[in-house]
């Protein structure tokens, strides 16, 4: 996976409704955080830790892709409402001077196709942090207990 071209995608962000198109960030490093619907809340601490080191969106675009393929279609509306409520709560924690639609990008992957394109078919409670290079290639994929510190170390080297 490392060194391969990152699969491009466009997903609609929760809360802002803004389209996030990975191709639009060509020429910049991007951090993608892949989580399952069950582990989505735990991504909060990761975002806070990463943003402590790299607060500016212009320097490091960051997006959370939530794999919701396991959610039955009948429940999509309820889950979307829950996610929008969680987004509004999280926006209150964003430091003054930062735009919510840039600082907190949550992308529901209802079909699981984006998650699968990155080879994370069954995330369970595991979180993957994928660093994309300015050339659109996968620099690294970190997961496990040292994922955040390893990601921050790599980003400090390349940014």
User: Does residue 123 carry a pLDDT above 70?
Assistant: no
99 φ/ψ angles, rounded to the nearest 5 degrees:
-80, 130
Cα 153 versus chain centre, distance: 18
Q: Using a pLDDT cut of 70, give the percent of the chain over it.
A: 96
Determine the pLDDT at residue 42. Answer: 74
User: Does residue 78 carry a pLDDT above 80?
Assistant: yes
* Residue 40, strand partner residues: none
Q: What confidence category does residue 122 fall into, taking pLDDT thresholds of 50, 70 and 90?
A: low
pLDDT digits over 5-58, tens only? 999 999 999 999 999 999 999 999 999 999 887 766 678 888 888 888 998 888
41 vs 86: CA distance, rounded Å: 9
User: Does residue 141 carry a pLDDT above 70?
Assistant: yes
139 vs 30: CA distance, rounded Å: 10
Q: What confidence category does residue 71 fall into, taking pLDDT thresholds of 50, 70 and 90?
A: very high
Q: What is 10-158's CATH topology?
A: Glutaredoxin (3.40.30)
Quote helix, strand, coil % in the chain, to nearest 5: 35, 25, 40
43-53 and 147-158 helices, crossing angle to 10°: 30
Determine the pLDDT at residue 102. Answer: 86
82 φ/ψ angles, rounded to the nearest 5 degrees:
-60, -45
Determine the pLDDT at residue 93. Answer: 84
Q: Provide the mean pLDDT of the chain.
A: 89
Mean pLDDT of 130-144: 92
Mean pLDDT of 74-89: 92
User: Does residue 148 carry a pLDDT above 90?
Assistant: no
């Amino acid at each position: 996976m490392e060194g391969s071209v990152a699969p491009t995608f466009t997903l609609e962000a929760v809360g802002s409704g803004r389209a996030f198109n990975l191709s639009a960030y060509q020429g910049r490093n991007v951090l993608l955080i892949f989580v399952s619907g069950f582990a989505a809340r735990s991504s909060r601490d990761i975002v806070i830790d990463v943003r402590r080191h790299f607060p500016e969106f212009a320097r490091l675009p960051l997006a959370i892709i939530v794999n919701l393929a396991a959610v039955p279609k009948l429940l999509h509306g309820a889950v979307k409402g829950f996610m929008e409520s969680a987004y509004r709560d999280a926006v209150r924690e964003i430091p003054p001077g930062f735009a919510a639609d840039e600082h907190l990008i949550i992308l529901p992957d209802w079909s699981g196709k984006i998650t699968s394109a990155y080879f994370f078919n069954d995330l369970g409670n595991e979180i993957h942090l994928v660093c994309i290079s300015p050339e659109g290639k996968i620099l690294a994929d970190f997961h496990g207990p040292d994922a955040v510190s390893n990601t921050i170390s790599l980003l400090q080297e390349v940014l």
